[in-house]
Structure 1
C-alpha cells in the first residue's frame, strides 16, 4: 500500500516496524489512507504510530479520530511529541475526549477557571483560601493528579499545534504555572481533610497559610515539568504560635506529598521550599513578621534576586498579598547593597562552574549562551533600575525584556534579539521535557532524538523542512547571540546617556544612568557622570571614539576594586594624551590593552599615578613584547648614553631616576598581565636598581675627577634581598661599599675619597631634583650591614675587609654575606672581594655554638622587631611562617651544607630551596610548603604597595585594600577573604616546617 520512500519521506526511522503497525487489526482499513499524512506531521512518527496502536487496543474509538481532518493533526502532534502524555491517555482512556476539544476549549484558560476545576476534582468546599476536600487520602491525590494532567494535555495540544510556537510560549508557561497553582490549592484542600485525623479541625481552620510561588512558577513561566519553588507564610487567629506553626508545617508537608509522592497516578513534580529563610535549616513556615525580620537582618543579595519572582499561588490570598507588599520595597532597594552586582555576577559564574564538564556543551539552560544568561542579565537590569522605575516591576522574563526596551534600558534591536532567543530556547526546553515529562535541560545526543526535537519545535506546516543539522545550526547561533548580548548588554545603556546619541539608540534619564553606575560599583555616580560627559562631549574624533568605547570600558573599570578612582585616572590619562592617534587606535583595536588599562586604573593607585606622569607607557599594554622587562645590559647601556649626553651631571641623574620609575612601571604592568612570575619581578626590579646605582657611582666619581684625581676604585655590593635579587617595589637597597686604592695613592686619602663617593651616591639617589621626578619611589641605600654596623667606616678597602673578616667576623656577618652580590663598580675589584666573601660565608661550616647563636638572634628578632600590635600571623616579613622564617632556615642550611653541596652556593632563596630538595637535605614536601609561603608573602608585599600606594609588611585589614591585594595576586572578585585564608594556611604550615628544622621542635 505504501512504499518505503513514503515512510522515509514521512520521517520514520524503522520502516519495517511502521509497515507492520499499519497492518495491525486495531487500525481500521478506512483509516489507513489518512495515517501516513497525519503521522508525517508528528515530531517522532515512530513514537506516534506506536502510541496510536497501543491506544487503539484500549480505546478503539481513537481510530475514528484519524479520519477527522480537524482532529487528526492534533492527535499525531501530541502522540509524536510526548510518550508520557500518551501513557496518561492509556491509563485514562476517558481523557481522550480532550483530543476532540475545539479551539475555544483549548484556548488559554484563566487562573480562576483552572482553580475552580482543580478544586471541583477533589470536591472541595469552604471559605476561599481554606478549602477542605471531600476526597481525602489517596483518592483525593489520584483525582487531583488526573485533573492536572488533563490540563497539561489540553495545554500541550494548543502549544504543539500553534502556528507560531515562539509566539505562544509565554502564554503556555503562564497557563502551566496557573495550573500548578490550582493543583497546589486543591492539594491544600486534600491536606486539610487528611490533617483532621491529627489536629482539631477548628484549629486547622484558624490557621491561614499562603503558598508563595518563586522561580518560574512565581513568574508564570513554568516548564512542563519542573520543581515548583515555594515559600510558606502563615498567620493564626486566637491560636498559640507554636501550635499554628506546627499545623502550617504539617499542612505544607501534606500538600507536597499529595502533589509529588509516588502512587497509582505518578506524582506531578517536587514542591521545593529550599528558597525559604535559612534554606533547609530554617522553619518550613514562618509568620510574616518572622520573614521580614530575617530579610531585614540576615538575607543575602541572591535572596532578594529570588524574591523578584515571588507571587501568591494558593491558600490565603490576603496574607499572600501582604507578603508581596512587604517584600517589594526590599527587592527594589537591594541593588544599593555593597557588592550587589558582584554577588549576582559571582552567582552566575558559580552556576556555570558547577556544570559537569561533559554537559557544558549540551546545556540549554545553564551553559554559556543559555537561558540563565538571559534571566540573570534581565533580572540584574530590573533590580538596578527598578528602584527608580516602577514600570520594571514585572516577574516574567519576556515582559521584563519588553519593559526594559520601552523604558530605554535596552536598545530595541537588542531587546528583539534577546526576546527571540529566549523564546526559542524555552521552546526547545519544553519540547525536550515533554517527551518523558522529566526534568532535563540537555540537548539530546542521538540524531533521531535531535531530528524529533527539530520537528517538534516547528509549527505543523513546517515540520518536514527541519532536520537535526538545521536544529544544531540554529541552536549554536542562538547561544552565540545570547552570550554576546549577556556580556555587553548590562553596560551599553550608559552610551546614550553620556553621549546624547540619537533617538534611534538607547537613552536613559540622568537618574537611571546614575542608578546604573551605582549598581556597577561607582560610589559617586554624579562624579562618574561628570567624567563621562567630559570624555564624550563635543564633536572631536576623540569624543566620538570615546562614545563608542566607554560602555565596555566602564564595565571593565567597574570590575576593579575602586571604579571611581579608575574612571578618574582614565579621564586624566585621556586628557594628557589628547588626540594622540596611537592611543585612540590602541583602545579601539586592542581589547587586551584596553581591558588591561581599565583594570589597572581601578585596582592600583600607584600604577595610576605612574601612568598619569608617563602616559606614553600605555602603549606597552598592547604588546607582550613591549611589557617584557629590559635586561641589565640594556639598562646599563641606556643609562650610560643618557649620562654622556648630560656630561655625567645631576640633570643626567634625573633622567636615570625617571628610567628606574619607568622600568618599575613596566615590570608591574607585566606582572599584572601575568607575563612574569615572582622571580622575574625581583630580578627586573634589582636590575633597575643596579643600573641606577651604577649611574650614581659614575656621576659621583666624575664629580671627584672634576675637582682632583680619582685615587680609588669603589664597588657597591648588594646585600639582603637586593643581593638575592628578590626585592619588591619600593625596597631599600642594603649595600656595602668596598674600594681598592689605585697604585701610588695615599691609603688614608683614598679612604676619605671612597667615603665621600659613597655618601654622594646616596644623595644622588634620594635628593630632591629640579624639576622634580613626580610619582617617584626613591631608592634608599642602607649600609648598616657593613662591619661594625653604623659605628664602622662607611667604605672600607678590600684589604681592610679581608683583615676584618679573618679576625673578627661573627656568625651573623657570615650569614649576611650569603646574599652578597656585586651591584655596581669596577668588575676586577668586585671579583676580588667576592673571593674573600666566599671564604667567609661558605668556608667553615657551623659549630654547635654557631647554631645556638643563630637561633638566639632569630628568637630575639621575633621578640623585639615585630611592630607593637601587629598580628604575627599576618606580618609577611617577620610573622610566623613569613619571609624571615623561610630565609633564616635556608641560610642556616646553606652555612652548614654548602661545603659538601656546592649547588647551595646561591644568593637566591628559591634557588637554594630547589637545591635543598634536590640534594635531599629536606623532604620535598617540606620544601614545597616553605616555597609556597615565601612566594605568597613576597607577592602580598609587592601587591600591597601596588594596590594601595603605601608600603606595608602586614596583610591589609580594610576590605577594599585586602580585595585590591587579592586581585593583584590573581584572585577573583570577592577573593580578599580567600587570600587571607590561603595566607594563614600557607604560613602556618611553613612555620611548622621551620620550627622542626630550625629549632629542632617536633
Structure 2
C-alpha cells in the first residue's frame, strides 16, 4: 500500500475509483511513475475516463515510449486541458492510443491553443496538401517528389490525417465541440485527404494530369458534411478534357487512372492502418458503369435512366476535391433534376419501399442492435428528412440542405414538421450519431452495432460506451434504456412523417401548382370550378400571407386542399369556411399540426365545409371539434351513459342554471357535429344518425330539467310539491329524430301526497316554462325547441297535466288519432317511476284489446287522406316531398302504425316506438310479405336520408327535394352520388331517379296494404 496526503492507492481503493483490476492498476501506476500524492489529479482523470483500465494501460505504454517521460508527467500535472483530452482519448480509443505509441511525440497535438481550436476547411486542405508537398493555391496541386517522409507521401498523408483525428477526438471527448462540428470537421478532413491523394496521383502520372480536368463530388455523409469517424466516403467523378485537348476518350481514360490512384491512397494499408474506403458505387449505372464520365454523360443519364433512389442520393451531392469549377457546373446541372424528382410517378411509394427493403435485409440477430439501419435507427431519421425535403424542396429552396440536422431545422421552420417532432428527431439523431462515433473511435473501425450483452466482452464494451456518454452510476443499464427509448421514439416519428399521406398528395401536384403564384392560383381556381375565383383568391392570400409558421403550413396545405374543395358540391363555400375556421383556430398549436400530420383530417374538412352549411355553422361555433375528424372511432355514436355523465358533470361545475345548461347545449352542439360529420362521411347509417340525435336530445332535456327543477326549488325555498316527467312523442319517441326536427313532448306531473293540486300544477308549469327558456335562450348553440302540440286537446289543452287528468281524459275522450300518436310515446326525462306508471296507463290505449275497431281503421284512413289533401304545401311536387309525398315517410309510418293498432295487443314484438322495428316485426309474423317490408324500409331510409341531407346542405330545414339544379347536385354529393363516366343524367339525375323509383314502389305497397286490406 502506498499512501501520501490521504490518497490511498490500494487495490481496493483503486477498484472503488472505477478501475476494474485494482491490483493491476496499482502496478501500472508504479510502472508509469505516477505518485499518488503528486499525481492525484492525473489518477482522478484516468478514473473518470470511459475505460479507466484502458486509459491507464495506454498511459503506461506512452510513458514507456516517450523520449522524455518526465516532460509528459509534468505536462499532465500542469495542464488540466491536456490531462482531460489525453486521458479521454486513451480511455475511449485503443486505435488512437496505438497511434500515440507509434508516434510518442504526438501527445503534444493535444496541448496548447491549436488543440482547442476548430480548424477551418481551408486550413485542413492546406495542411494536408503541404504534407505531400503540394501548393494549396495552385489550380491543380501536385505533390512534390521527395518532399514527404521516407516512407512515401501516402504514409505521410495517413500520419497527418491521424494527427488531425487525434486533435478532433480530444475536443470531442471532452465536450468542447458538438456533434455537428465534429461531423463537419471529419467531412472536411476527408475532402482534404482526397485533394492531397489526387495531388499524389498527379505527381505519379503527370501526363494524365495534363489531359483532363477531374472533379470529385462528395455524396452521402461526406457530401452532407456529417461524416463519421470511420465511414466509406461516397464519391462520384466527373471529368472533362483539359483545355486544348480534343481527344475526349483519351481524357476520360486519363481521368479514370487518376481517380483510381486517388482512391487507393486512403484505402491502402500500412503501419498506420487503413483510413477508410472510397466508394464510387453511387455513380450512374453503379459498379457496372464507367468510373468517370463527362458532365454531358451524367446529365443524359439522370434525364433518362436514373431511378428514384439515385435522386435521393444526389440530394447530398457537393464538390469536395479536384477541379472546383467543374464540380460547381455538375451540381448546378444536376440540382434542378433532384428537386423535381418528387414529381415522378410513384416517387413517394418508391422511397418508402426502398426503406422497407433495407429493413428486410438486416439479419434478425442484429436488428435490435443496429443503430444505423435498424428500426428506430439513423436511417429512419435520414429517410424521413430526405423524403420531406424532396417533396417540399421543389418549391421551397430553404429546405434544400444536404445536412440532416440543418434540413430538419429548415423543415420545422417552414412548418412541414412540427416543432416537437423536429426537436425529438434532432435529439435522437445526435444521440445515435454520438453512440456511432464512440463505437468507431474505439478501434477506428467501421461499425454500427451496439455490443451484445451476451458476448464475452459485451458488458465491458457497453460499460465503456455508457461511461463515455456520461452514464456514470449504471452505465450499462442506462445506456440500454436510453437506446430503447430513442429507437422507439424514432420509429414512432418515422412512421408518422415518412408515411404521412400528405406527402403523396403534395408529390402528385404538378410542379408549378405545389406553390401557387397569384396568377396561377386564379387560373387554377377557375378551372377547378370556383364560381368566384377572385373571392377565393382573396381567401388564399389571407391564409398564406406573411412569414409566420401558420402561413407556411397553409402554403403547403392549400394547393392540395384546393383539389378537395373542388370535389365538393360548393368549393367557394368550402374555402370560405376553411378560412373562417382557420381564423378562429390559427393560433391554436394543435390545429394546423393536425391538418399537416393527418391529411385525412384536411381532406375530410374540405369535403364537409364544401358540402354542408349546417356542419360549417356548427364548426364555426365550436372549431375545436375538427379534431374529431382524425379517427372514425371519434365519429362513432357515444353511449348515452357517457353523455349523461358529462352533462351531469357540467351541471355540478356551474353555479347558475344558465351557465350549466349552456355547457350542456355546447355538449349537444359537439355531438350534432359528430353525428353530421359521420353521416356525410358515410361512417354512420340513417339508423345511427336518428339514434344519436335522439340520445343527445334526451340527455340535453334531462339535464336542463334538473337545472330548471333546482332553479324553481331555490325560488320556492323547498322542493316542489309534485313529480314531473317528460314524455317524447313522434319521431323523438321513435328514436328517429332528424337534424331539423323539433322535440315533440308531453308533460305529466303527479302531486305529492297531501299537496294542493292547484299549487302542484302551478309549480309544474313554472318548471316547464323554465325548462323551455333554458333550452331556447339566445346563445351560440342551436336551440332545442320543445313542441307540445301532440298533448291532449292540442294547443287548446293545458301544457302540463296531472297523471290523473291524463287517465280521465284517455278514459273518456281519447280518439283513434291519439291512440295512434301514443304508439310513439316514450318517457325520456324526469321522474322514472312516474314515467313507468304513465307507460302502463297508455299501453291499453295504444294497444287496444282486440285491436282497433273497423270504425277506428276507417278513421285512420280518412285522417291519412285528409292530411295528404290539406297539409301538403301548395305547389309542392307530391313525388318529391319526403314527409307527406307519395311513398314518403308518412306513407311508411302510417302503414306500420295501422298494423300496430290492429295487432300489437297480441304480438309484443310490435310494441315498439320505432318504424323500422315495427316493420321487421310485421314481416316476422306474416303481417307483411318480406318484399313489401323491404320496399317500405328502403323508401323510408331514402326519404329520411334525403330529408336529413337537405338540412345538412342548406343549413335550414326542408321536406322536399330542392328544385334548383345546383341544390340537387349538392344534395346528391352529400348523399354519396359521384360523377361516373358515360353518364348523361349526372349524380343529381340518378338521385331523382332512385328516389322516385323507391317511393313509387312504396306508394304501391302502401295503397294496397293501408287501404285495400281489411
Residue 128 of structure 1 pairs with residue 146 of structure 2: no
Show the 5 A alignment for 1:448-527.
448-458=460-470, 464=472, 467-489=475-497, 506-509=549-552, 512-514=555-557, 517=560
Q: 1:95 aligns with which of 61, 85, 106?
A: 106
Displacement, 1:174? Answer: 0.6
The alpha-carbon distance between structure 1 residues 430 and 611, as it changes in their structure 2 partners (threshold 3 A), is: same
Residue number in structure 2 paired with 1:220: 225
Displacement, 1:447? Answer: 2.8
Q: What whole-Å deviation, never above 9, does each CA across 1:267-306 have from its counterpart, x for those lacking one?
A: 1001010111111111111111100101111112221111
Displacement, 1:314? Answer: 0.5
Displacement, 1:419? Answer: 2.2
Query: Would the aligned equivalents of 1:498 and 1:547 in 2 still touch at CA under 8 Å?
Result: no
Query: Would the aligned equivalents of 1:44 and 1:81 in 2 still touch at CA under 8 Å?
Result: yes
Q: What whole-Å deviation, never above 9, does each CA across 1:904-961 have from its counterpart, x for those lacking one?
A: xxxxxxxxxxxxxxxxxxxxxxxxxxxxxxxxxxxxxxxxxxxxxxxxxxxxxxxxxx
Q: What whole-Å deviation, never above 9, does each CA across 1:315-361 have from its counterpart, x for those lacking one?
A: 00110011111111112222222222222222222222222222222
Residue 236 of structure 1 pairs with residue 241 of structure 2: yes
Q: What whole-Å deviation, never above 9, does each CA across 1:529-584 have from its counterpart, x for those lacking one?
A: 9898578565699999999689668767689xxx98x8877878999999799xx9
Distance between the aligned counterparts of 2:64 and 2:293, measured in 1? 52
Point out the more displaced range, 41-50 or 20-29.
20-29
Displacement, 1:507? Answer: 1.8
Residue 12 of structure 1 pairs with residue 19 of structure 2: yes
Distance between the aligned counterparts of 2:429 and 2:627, measured in 1? 33
Residue number in structure 1 paired with 2:929: 648
Distance between the aligned counterparts of 1:619 and 1:537, measured in 2? 33
Residue number in structure 2 paired with 1:146: 159
Residue 75 of structure 1 pairs with residue 356 of structure 2: no
Structure index of larger Rg? 2
Residue number in structure 2 paired with 1:368: 375
Residue number in structure 2 paired with 1:247: 254
Q: 1:616 aligns with which of 684, 691, 704?
A: 684
SS at structure 2 position matched to 1:616: coil
Distance between the aligned counterparts of 1:221 and 1:400, measured in 2? 12
Distance between the aligned counterparts of 2:355 and 2:600, measured in 1? 17
The alpha-carbon distance between structure 1 residues 124 and 516, as it changes in their structure 2 partners (threshold 3 A), is: farther
Q: What whole-Å deviation, never above 9, does each CA across 1:433-489 have from its counterpart, x for those lacking one?
A: 11111111222233332222122124xxxx745622222333333233333333334
The alpha-carbon distance between structure 1 residues 170 and 268, as it changes in their structure 2 partners (threshold 3 A), is: same
Q: What whole-Å deviation, never above 9, does each CA across 1:587-621 have from its counterpart, x for those lacking one?
A: 8599585899xxxxxxxxxxxxx99695425999x
Show the 5 A alignment for 1:675-690.
none
Query: Would the aligned equivalents of 1:27 and 1:56 in 2 still touch at CA under 8 Å?
Result: no
Displacement, 1:24? Answer: 1.7
The alpha-carbon distance between structure 1 residues 352 and 507, as it changes in their structure 2 partners (threshold 3 A), is: farther
Query: Would the aligned equivalents of 2:213 and 2:239 in 1 still touch at CA under 8 Å?
Result: yes
The alpha-carbon distance between structure 1 residues 492 and 504, as it changes in their structure 2 partners (threshold 3 A), is: farther
Query: Would the aligned equivalents of 1:123 and 1:133 in 2 still touch at CA under 8 Å?
Result: yes
How many residue pairs match? The answer is: 628
Residue number in structure 1 paired with 2:196: 186
SS at structure 2 position matched to 1:395: coil
**TM-score under structure 2 normalisation?**
0.54
Residue number in structure 2 paired with 1:172: 182
Residue number in structure 1 paired with 2:358: 351
Query: Would the aligned equivalents of 2:215 and 2:324 in 1 still touch at CA under 8 Å?
Result: yes
Consecutive unaligned residues in structure 1, runs of 5 or more: 597-609, 621-634, 662-767, 775-1002
Residue number in structure 2 paired with 1:272: 279
Residue number in structure 2 paired with 1:418: 425
Show the 5 A alignment for 1:393-432.
393-432=400-439
Residue number in structure 2 paired with 1:672: none
The alpha-carbon distance between structure 1 residues 773 and 469, as it changes in their structure 2 partners (threshold 3 A), is: farther
Q: What whole-Å deviation, never above 9, does each CA across 1:482-518 have from its counterpart, x for those lacking one?
A: 3333333465999999997999994244784158849
The alpha-carbon distance between structure 1 residues 322 and 98, as it changes in their structure 2 partners (threshold 3 A), is: same
The alpha-carbon distance between structure 1 residues 660 and 526, as it changes in their structure 2 partners (threshold 3 A), is: closer
SS at structure 1 position matched to 2:274: coil
Distance between the aligned counterparts of 1:646 and 1:525, measured in 2? 49
Residue number in structure 2 paired with 1:327: 334
The alpha-carbon distance between structure 1 residues 310 and 647, as it changes in their structure 2 partners (threshold 3 A), is: same
Residue 110 of structure 1 pairs with residue 120 of structure 2: yes
Displacement, 1:156? Answer: 0.6
Distance between the aligned counterparts of 1:79 and 1:67, measured in 2? 16
SS at structure 2 position matched to 1:480: helix
Query: Would the aligned equivalents of 2:575 and 2:610 in 1 still touch at CA under 8 Å?
Result: no
The alpha-carbon distance between structure 1 residues 471 and 575, as it changes in their structure 2 partners (threshold 3 A), is: farther
Consecutive unaligned residues in structure 2, runs of 5 or more: 3-8, 453-457, 507-538, 637-677, 689-915, 943-992, 1000-1014
Query: Would the aligned equivalents of 1:409 and 1:493 in 2 still touch at CA under 8 Å?
Result: no
Distance between the aligned counterparts of 2:18 and 2:541, measured in 1? 56
Show the 5 A alignment for 1:271-290.
271-290=278-297
Displacement, 1:654? Answer: 2.8
Residue number in structure 1 paired with 2:60: 53
The alpha-carbon distance between structure 1 residues 307 and 216, as it changes in their structure 2 partners (threshold 3 A), is: same
Distance between the aligned counterparts of 1:511 and 1:159, measured in 2? 41
Residue number in structure 2 paired with 1:800: none
SS at structure 1 position matched to 2:31: coil
The alpha-carbon distance between structure 1 residues 276 and 769, as it changes in their structure 2 partners (threshold 3 A), is: closer
Distance between the aligned counterparts of 2:630 and 2:563, measured in 1? 29
Show the 5 A alignment for 1:963-982.
none
The alpha-carbon distance between structure 1 residues 511 and 570, as it changes in their structure 2 partners (threshold 3 A), is: closer
Residue number in structure 1 paired with 2:96: 85
Displacement, 1:308? Answer: 1.1
Show the 5 A alignment for 1:487-886.
487-489=495-497, 506-509=549-552, 512-514=555-557, 517=560, 588=628, 593=633, 615-617=683-685, 642=923, 647-648=928-929, 651-654=932-935, 771-772=996-997
Displacement, 1:68? Answer: 2.6
Residue number in structure 1 paired with 2:658: none
Displacement, 1:74? Answer: 1.6
Displacement, 1:636? Answer: 14
The alpha-carbon distance between structure 1 residues 74 and 557, as it changes in their structure 2 partners (threshold 3 A), is: closer
Distance between the aligned counterparts of 1:619 and 1:250, measured in 2? 78
The alpha-carbon distance between structure 1 residues 30 and 540, as it changes in their structure 2 partners (threshold 3 A), is: closer
Residue number in structure 1 paired with 2:459: 447
Query: Would the aligned equivalents of 2:124 and 2:188 in 1 still touch at CA under 8 Å?
Result: yes
Query: Would the aligned equivalents of 1:43 and 1:80 in 2 still touch at CA under 8 Å?
Result: yes
SS at structure 2 position matched to 1:23: helix
Q: What whole-Å deviation, never above 9, does each CA across 1:360-385 have from its counterpart, x for those lacking one?
A: 22122222322222222222222222
SS at structure 2 position matched to 1:355: coil
Residue number in structure 2 paired with 1:262: 269
SS at structure 2 position matched to 1:49: helix
SS at structure 2 position matched to 1:358: coil
**TM-score under structure 1 normalisation?**
0.55
SS at structure 2 position matched to 1:24: helix
Residue 387 of structure 1 pairs with residue 394 of structure 2: yes
Displacement, 1:309? Answer: 0.7
Distance between the aligned counterparts of 1:457 and 1:449, measured in 2? 12
